[in-house]
Amino acid sequence: MALVNHAKKEINAKIVYFGPAQSGKSTALTYIYSRIKPSLRGDFKCFPAGADNLIFFDFSPFETTLPNGYRLRLHIYTLTGTVTNPATWKMTLKGADGIMIMIDPDVEHTAETIESVSQLRDFLSAYGVGLHETPAVLQLNSYTRKILPDAAAQIAASLDLTSFLICQTNAASGDGLLEALTTLSRQILDRVTLCNGSPEADSAPAEPSSDVKPPEVLEQNVSTPWNTPHSDDSPKVALLPHEIISEGAAIRIPLEISQSGVLRRLVVTVNVALE
């Protein structure tokens, strides 16, 4: 579920471009980033994830704010090339609010496409999430030809994705890439509105200040008070040691905090000064 930060009036949503190697994911992200106004985007970054490479950036898709002054911030992730460790995909998909299923529709890629979508279902099910429960778009990325509607529908049916919207793109030229992302982002925004109603600045309780930073979804200062002053339900903190990441002098420690039936994910960053 997208994170609504009422203190900053910001809706943060994570989108993952998922698909087989050579399906155009990295090319698509590079093109999309180049078309976003610098004032609306963060840095384009590449992060080593074991033997694989994670690329990501964040941006606001609209210059104008949403109702009540809220702003949508999208955080886009994908893995480049052939992924050597499937667990890297699983971690990248954790907390995803929307998935762009990017495939090459040519017949010679059918087997790897079917395997990729099957893996996607397995990764999501490990988190107790069904693919059809997640906002997603099927993106048919072809560098050579236009796919007829009937053929596109057959591809979706072969993957059991007939309920998903289909977008045709050409990552090399950029055709359709922005339209596909817009389609997915609107699904996510509709989901936020459906679950939370229109964000109300006056009625919504203020939450601790947070920033969404890669490679995790949420990062907060642990000194921020989590519970209300008169709450009798103290928060319960769980450390996730298998997900601790070391980047030079910085150590990122993931935590899960539960309180009153609500589970939150946050990351504590510790900078170690070596003398």
176 shares its domain with 127: yes
Q: How far apart are CA 208 and CA 195, in angstroms?
A: 20
Residue 206 located in a structural domain: no
Tell me the pLDDT tens digit for each residue of 233-245: 556 666 655 556 6
107 shares its domain with 37: yes
State residue 101's pLDDT score.
98
Give the domain CATH number at 157: 3.40.50.300
3-state helix, strand, coil in the chain (%, to 5): 30, 30, 40
Residue 147, classified by CB atoms within 10 Å of its CB into exposed (0-12), middle (13-18) or buried (19+), is middle
Whether the full predicted model's pTM is greater than 0.75, yes or no, is no
Higher pLDDT, 65 or 148: 148
Residue 210 located in a structural domain: no
Q: How far apart are CA 45 and CA 97, in angstroms?
A: 20
151 shares its domain with 245: no
104 shares its domain with 234: no
Tell me the pLDDT tens digit for each residue of 125-136: 999 999 999 999
Residue 204 located in a structural domain: no
What is the extent of the structural domain holding 171? 3-196
136 shares its domain with 269: no
